[in-house]
Structure 1
Amino acid sequence: MKILSMLAVALSLSASGAAAADNRVVLVTLDGLRWQEVFRGADPVVAEDPTFVEDRKAVKAAYLDPADRKAALTPFLHEVVAKQGVLIGDRDHGSCARVTNDQWFSYPGYNEILTGRPDPAIKSNDPTPNANVTVLEWLNRQPAFKGKVMAFTSWNVFPAIINSARSGVPVDDGMTTPKPRNAFEAALGRMQAQTPRIWPTVRFDVFTHNYALEALKRDKPKVVYISYGETDDFAHEGHYGLTLDAARRTDGFLRELWTTLQADKAYAGKTTLIVTTDHGRGAGVKQGDWKGHGKGLWPNSDETWIAVIGPGVKAGVSKTSECAGADQVAATALTALGVDWRAFDAKAGAPLDIFKAPAN
């Protein structure tokens, strides 16, 4: 029986490898962007508060005056993904997504997204090398994906979260300027080096985005992880107007990513884009609750959202039978690749029920 079981696993992996040969995944996270902003748009109470918004006139014109506030803030998510793919987490209309870890902040959230399960031992954002194997590391060990997995992040803790030293997955986190391989990257590196840092551990997302975009065009990786950070950092500082600007700017990055993928024959028609967040934010009634997150401090900051668009995704799905979990993202990515997620971790969260039935 043991031999038969091992044979079954081997056959499953072999079949998965064949199915995954042409499939690609781009996984993106927007740090700490609330579902409330994604599905309601700008909060009028916060957006009109001079404590949090310096240029209220500009914010009002951009985000409050439009008839559809959510589309004004994140047009790509609503005009493209919600219609051609799935957008889960609108709690006002019976849709739900959340993290399943008990911390509700970044390292535990990213570990859950990338490994398919929460780890109760992770209780800080310290850059401790992750003892857990992420889906990126596991894929990088498979022959079909070896050397074709890359990560681009704005936060400098990601080399530890992905454990790049052990996993072999290259992580461009912006703390050092990578060696340029063309004139564009040389210019990008100069600008990154010459740009002041607001935050000591986070670079501006424009650099993360453009390094990732250039790698997609040049290197054609099969799996790419991109983590944008400004939506969290501006929020922590209480700059609501800048947080809204960051959300809209990042939505534009997503549109550019998707447009680039669809224009490239290596990716068009075989790439799934998955977008989510590592945690929510406070939703209390006290002034400034939206700035923070964490269990025991900011209620409801476990509430998140998930967006998926790709060739095998059922369009228009907005609800799941149970509240969708961040622990389901890894298995969802593997399913999109055509890989049996149980070969990675049978105890990970199961894939989201968003895929079309296989053709007979």
Structure 2
Amino acid sequence: MRKTLLFLSILVLSLLTPRVYGQGDNPPKIVLITMDGLRWQELFTGADPLLVTHTKYVHDTTALKESFWREAPRERREALMPFLWQEATKMGQLHGNRGLGNKIDLTNTMWFSYPGYNEILTGRADDSRIDSNDKINNPNTTILEIVNSDPRYKGKVAAFGSWDVFPFIVNEERSGVPVNAGFEIAMGNDMTERERFLNQLQAQVPSPWGTVRLDAFTHHYALEHMKKNHPMFVYIAYGETDDFAHDGNYEAYLRSAHNTDNLIKELWEFTKQDDFYKDNTIFIITTDHGRGTDPLDTWRHHGNKIKGAGQVWLLAFGNGIKAIGEVDANAQLYSDQIAPTVLELLGIDVNEELMEGKPILLDTD
């Protein structure tokens, strides 16, 4: 059944005429971004009308409504994430609006973070071994490790995350891919003044959580690394949206999503003017899991007991990605297709024995 749905998705969407990079070609730079647990409902319709005025989840409903409430869903979503809707989507394609019959789902049955990230980064679910958020080195090989093992990209791969489990998800010890995550600081003999400042500031700014730092630190550590080292493939994992949701703080959840939209815009603006990235960078943005909607309080939660928590979304834009905007075709895609898509874009053979998903066809111009 899944193979039939996948074939129909490719036939209907015609998303990418694969570009085979290699001999003498200039492969694109890839920026893979995840926003932990951001629901497709907020992304596609903006602030939830049942939550934005709910005093249990919002401290100042008047201020939140002024910031993000609009009568029309299209206006609400642009108020929440203006860069993604006013610029990024127009430069590429956005998938996962289930209100239009366009679906993206997880293939893992856990529907929480480590299994979700494993699926995104390895191209397959592994429910038998990745069944918790424990700090266990990933037995599977991520695309970060695969790309880093290619002589063309050796030493040009890096990962940054707000959650302190990412060194284990990427298996930094085995893969050799540098991971700055949790409350780690920048290190090395060539640190910039900004990195030194970030190291000092991170120690002075308390996080609301014991295992997740504020996304601004993750973002600026990543941006400084891109400016200094120019990785070909960088993975950035923002985490605040999930943790604010778990806290039941809908106001902070929305404001964090809005702020992350600004952070992504800053990354894009940098790649537009930097000689290394200019006119040759692709952004791929997604989430590791969804959240509930009914009963209302399940918006705070995920996991396989929460209806809808396996529903996700995907945005791709940048060099060569066909600008078709919000995809409204009835189609089905899966998160395990992201990893092979990245490899194909970089001209690296996809090992079908390791990866269950097939590359998403993202039509190039």
TM-score normalised by length of structure 1: 0.91
Q: Retained in 1: the 8 A contact 2:292–2:301?
A: yes
Q: CA deviation at 1:60?
A: 0.4
Q: CA deviation at 1:231?
A: 0.4
| In 2: Cα distance, 1:20 partner to 1:169 partner | 24
Q: CA deviation at 1:158?
A: 0.5
Question: 2:316 aligned to 274, 296, 308, which one?
Answer: 308
Question: 2:238 aligned to 228, 245, 248, which one?
Answer: 228
Q: Which residue of 2 aligns with 1:252?
A: 262
Alignment of 1:183 with 2:193, yes or no, is: yes
Equivalenced residues, count = 340
Q: Retained in 2: the 8 A contact 1:19–1:338?
A: no
3-state SS of 1:288 partner: helix
Q: Which residue of 1 aligns with 2:303?
A: 294
Q: Retained in 2: the 8 A contact 1:99–1:327?
A: yes
| Identity level (%) | 44
Range that drifts further, 48-57 or 314-323? 314-323
| In 2: Cα distance, 1:274 partner to 1:18 partner | 25
Q: CA deviation at 1:17?
A: 3.9
Pairing 1:256-335 to 2, within 5 Å after superposition: 256-284=266-294, 286-296=295-305, 298-316=306-324, 318-319=327-328, 322-335=331-344
Q: CA deviation at 1:315?
A: 1.0
User: Which residue identity does 1:93 align to in structure 2?
Assistant: L
RMSD over equivalenced CA pairs, Å:
1.7
Q: Which residue of 1 aligns with 2:138?
A: 130
Q: Which residue of 2 aligns with 1:83?
A: 90
Q: CA deviation at 1:103?
A: 0.5
Question: 2:126 aligned to 91, 95, 119, which one?
Answer: 119
Unaligned runs of 5+ in 2: 1-19
Q: CA deviation at 1:345?
A: 5.2
Range that drifts further, 17-26 or 87-96? 17-26
3-state SS of 1:151 partner: strand
3-state SS of 1:246 partner: helix
Q: CA deviation at 1:346?
A: 6.3
Range that drifts further, 303-312 or 169-178? 169-178
Q: Which residue of 1 aligns with 2:67?
A: 62
Unaligned runs of 5+ in 1: 1-14
Alignment of 1:32 with 2:41, yes or no, is: no
Q: Give CA deviations for 1:191-244 in whole Å, capped at 9, x if unaligned.
A: 101111211110000000001011111110000000000000000010000000
Q: Retained in 2: the 8 A contact 1:89–1:97?
A: yes
User: Which residue identity does 2:166 align to in structure 1?
Assistant: F
| In 1: Cα distance, 2:257 partner to 2:71 partner | 16
3-state SS of 1:44 partner: coil
Range that drifts further, 348-357 or 99-108? 348-357
Q: Retained in 1: the 8 A contact 2:292–2:302?
A: yes
3-state SS of 2:23 partner: helix
3-state SS of 1:130 partner: coil
Q: Retained in 2: the 8 A contact 1:115–1:348?
A: no
Q: Retained in 1: the 8 A contact 2:165–2:182?
A: no
Q: Retained in 2: the 8 A contact 1:19–1:339?
A: no
